[in-house]
Amino acid sequence: MTLLPCVVFLCYCVLTMWCDVMYTNDNNAYPGYCRKRMKKERIWKKVEEKKKRNSGEECASRHTNAVETARQIEKRVRTAINKTTSTGTVVSDQRGENESSRKVQDDKKTKVKDRIMSLPTVSSHYNRAKSPNRRYLPVGLNIKLLFSMYLE
């Protein structure tokens, strides 16, 4: 029975595409036919929805939703009770209290920054007039050379 809405939607899509093709390809097409057909389709859909309501499927789905909601509420209450101490206070949240293992320490950051600032710099020949304060590393310095200088 769960396929019924999909089938109705598929029929509706096919019908609308057929009406569009019919209306655009043939100048003598009867556009009122498409409107009547669509109206019948809507009426048929309403009848099917009414049958579904009367069959009890909708009540069953509401019941399962209510049961799921009750389970979720019960789980939240159980979790809250488990997180309370014997004195009745709630344990503080422990998320985000551990420092990241990937975080670079401040003293290492300052050492690297000082090392970069001690390297010789040159001004660019492209924009000396526009920004005389910008400084660049020389062309001969590459990562391999900088790393070997760092190890010394």
pLDDT at 90: 80
Cβ atoms of 2 and 55 within 8 Å: the answer is no
pLDDT at 110: 93
Residue ranges in the chain modelled with pLDDT below 50? 1, 18, 21-25, 27-28
pLDDT at 23: 47
pTM for the predicted model, two decimal places: 0.34
Q: Rounded to the nearest 5°, which phi and psi values hold at 136?
A: -125, 155
The whole-angstrom separation of Cα 108 and Cα 115 is: 11
Q: What is the domain partition of the chain in residue ranges?
A: 41-83, 106-151
